Amino acid sequence: MANKINEQDSGKRVEDLQAIRIEDYTYDLPEERVAKYPLTERDASKLLIYDNGGIHERRFRDVPEILSAGDMLVFNNTKVIHARIFFHKETGALIEVFCLEPWEPVDYARNFAAVGRCTWKCMVGNLRKWKESAISCDYDYEGERHLLRAERQEQQGNDIIVTFSWDTPLCFSEVLECCGRIPIPPYLNRESESSDEIRYQTVYSKSEGSVAAPTAGLHFSLPVLDALRAKGVRMEEVTLHVGAGTFKPVKSETIGGHDMHTEHIVVPRQVVAALHAQSGNIIAVGTTSVRTLESLYWMGVKCLLGSGDFHSLGQWEAYQLPNNYTFRESMAALLRWFDETGSEVLKARTTIIILPGYRYRVISGMFTNFHQPQSTLLLLVAAAIGEDWHRVYDYALSHDFRFLSYGDSSFLKVRK
């Protein structure tokens, strides 16, 4: 079966996709349309519905009326961490250390559970002022003042490897809670506030690791989730830890010159089994769930091909691998891997880029907010609904929809 290669995924097809011009995926977004704060009620946001060319709107709390029994919603249960830490030097200089991903231990859970010492890959603001080997910030523990120390290690491209150390019995996730701040999106042009501690998390967040929220999920309230369960909508959870690269602008003229960011995913065996058994619609909550589910298909294909490196998916692999295995064949291959290894979770890395011309293998629809012009997320949307993305965004702009992370939502059905 390893020779099943479809002509449309040949190298020439990749070259065509890489020639996509980012200027063709732009629109005028007035500053006043960017939502600086969320609405008082999560599920009170507007919901644009796109279905095979038709566009209309509801309120997000109507979602249980829109979906059908037997549909499956897949949520990203990642939790945003207090990734921004500010260190004040005696000179008055302020150095910001932004935790990107764990370095040692490399596993998220083990790193957050570390006591006394751990290492992260970080972005550092005002790096030129960090001349000494270590800097520190203070925090309170049991009524006493303690220090979190940060030591510079090697440089990795534009990022710095930083070792943190502390002298309390707190684990690193608890130290971050004491010292760090929630990293709200830079385009909000404001500092984080106490309300962001709650509202920049989904109500179902649990797996620590993201430096940005999976914002499509911010609209789901507990009453909406209860109503979905009562209706018979199936709900499953995966984990994709959102990295700062989600805000990385496309600076090249064509998408082939853009290096997509890599993100870590965790998928339990029971979720793969549920996907394998699902006969109805699979609907992703957010672009992070889209990337996780579509990456999962290609990882299954790599399993079918006997690849020992199926845990990692490169930026362009989805356009180069054989593409005529069924979704069920792909999930069956992953289930065999679970059974053969005795593993209960798949931990992997994906750098997939989803562009117009990509054919969705897993999802039939997605919930997603309205994205920045000339972004890879807008390209992902265009891959789902084609040139109608112009009509969707024109409608949203002319009907007072709020944009970006704290803005309104859309439910887009993938065009077949």
User: Which DSSP string do the residues of 45-96 spell out, in sequence order?
Assistant: SEEEEEETTEEEEEEGGGHHHHS-TT-EEEEE-EEE---EEEEE-TTS-EEE
Residues 6+ apart with CB under 8 A from 121: 100, 101, 102, 103, 156, 159, 160, 161, 162
Give the pLDDT means over successive 10-residue stretches in the chain (416 positions): 38 83 96 96 98 97 98 98 90 90 94 96 92 88 92 91 96 94 92 94 96 96 98 98 81 94 95 97 98 98 94 96 95 97 96 96 98 96 98 98 98 94
In this structure, the dihedral spanned by the alpha carbons of residues 63, 69, 70 and 73, taken in order and rounded to 10 degrees, is: 20
Q: What pLDDT sits at residue 4?
A: 39
Q: What pLDDT sits at residue 243?
A: 83
pTM: 0.92
Q: Which two tokens stand for residue 53?
A: 């060319």
Q: What pLDDT sits at residue 384?
A: 98
- Read off the amino acid at residue 191: E
User: Which DSSP string do the residues of 164-203 spell out, in sequence order?
Assistant: EEESSS-BHHHHHHHHEE----GGG-S---TTHHHHTS-T
Q: What pLDDT sits at residue 6?
A: 44
Q: d(Cα 18, Cα 131) in Å, to the nearest integer?
A: 41
Q: What pLDDT sits at residue 7?
A: 40
Q: Which helix (H) or strand (E) holds 222?
A: helix 222-231
Q: What pLDDT sits at residue 237?
A: 98
Q: What pLDDT sits at residue 248?
A: 76
Residues 6+ apart with CB under 8 A from 357: 13, 16, 17, 20, 383
Q: Of the candidates 14, 1, 54, 26, which has an alpha carbon nearest to the alpha carbon of residue 322?
A: 1
Q: d(Cα 107, Cα 187) in Å, to the nearest integer?
A: 30
All structural domains of the chain: 7-79+201-413 (3.40.1780.10), 83-181 (no CATH)
Q: Of the candidates 241, 88, 79, which has an alpha carbon nearest to the alpha carbon of residue 176?
A: 79
